[in-house]
């Protein structure tokens, strides 16, 4: 899997959040279904759709299905959206990124594991203490003909 090192600018993620105790990702798919059930209408100022996770991984992690918004606009956008939408600030910095395409779930988890277990160590890097991961989905990320998603998978590193 080819990778690149990128400098990612900070942004606000505004959307729905769940907790994933341990490495249990079973809440993520229903979260995306709930996120798009509302019609999937982008928030004003949205710069795309992202999945964001953070935490130490050992005790679990937090996950969001969200719209990407400029820094310092998330709280107001979450309040305007109403419902269960919340805002989370995603830190900028150095990230390892890989282009990925697959059917989500276990395939995406395997791709992230390859980043953590092979790509990061081979490049003498370490996962950042905040454990931030981003799934950056392009417009038309889902292909109904093949039932696959595409995204750039990003892991914050030091």
pLDDT in tens, 13-69: 999 999 999 888 999 999 999 998 865 678 888 999 999 999 977 789 999 999 999
Tens of pLDDT along 99-140?
999 988 889 999 999 999 999 999 999 999 999 999 999 999
Whole-angstrom CA distances from 33 to 16, 28, 29, 105, 152 are 10, 9, 6, 13, 20
pLDDT of residue 97: 97
pLDDT of residue 38: 67
Rounded-to-5 percentages of helix, strand, coil across the chain: 25, 40, 35
Q: Which residue from 68, 90, 76 is spatially nearest to 138, judged by alpha carbons? A: 68
**pLDDT value at position 40?**
62
Cα–Cα distance measured from residue 92 to residue 112, given in angstroms and rounded to the nearest whole number:
19
Tokens of 91: 């830190």
Q: Write out the two tokens for 144.
A: 């109904």
Task: Please determine, looking at this structure, whether the domain spanning 4-99+111-156 carries the CATH number 1.10.3720.10.
Answer: no
State yes or no: pLDDT of 1 exceeds 80.
no
Handedness of CA 38, 39, 40, 42 (dihedral sign): negative
């Amino acid at each position: 899997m080819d990778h690149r090192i990128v400098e990612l600018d900070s942004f606000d993620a505004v959307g729905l959040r769940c907790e994933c105790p341990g490495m249990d990702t079973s809440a993520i798919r229903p979260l995306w279904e709930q996120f798009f059930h509302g019609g999937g209408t982008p928030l004003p100022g949205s710069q795309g759709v992202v999945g964001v996770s953070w935490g130490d991984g050992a005790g679990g992690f937090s996950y969001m299905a969200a719209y990407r918004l400029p820094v310092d606009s998330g709280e107001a956008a979450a309040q305007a959206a109403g419902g269960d939408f919340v805002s989370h600030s995603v830190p900028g910095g150095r990230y390892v990124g890989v282009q990925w395409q697959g059917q989500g779930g276990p395939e995406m988890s395997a791709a992230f594991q390859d980043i953590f277990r092979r790509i990061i160590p081979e490049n003498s890097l370490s996962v950042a203490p905040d454990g931030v991961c981003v799934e950056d989905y392009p417009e038309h990320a889902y292909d109904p003909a093949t039932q696959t998603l595409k995204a750039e998978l990003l892991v914050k590193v030091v």
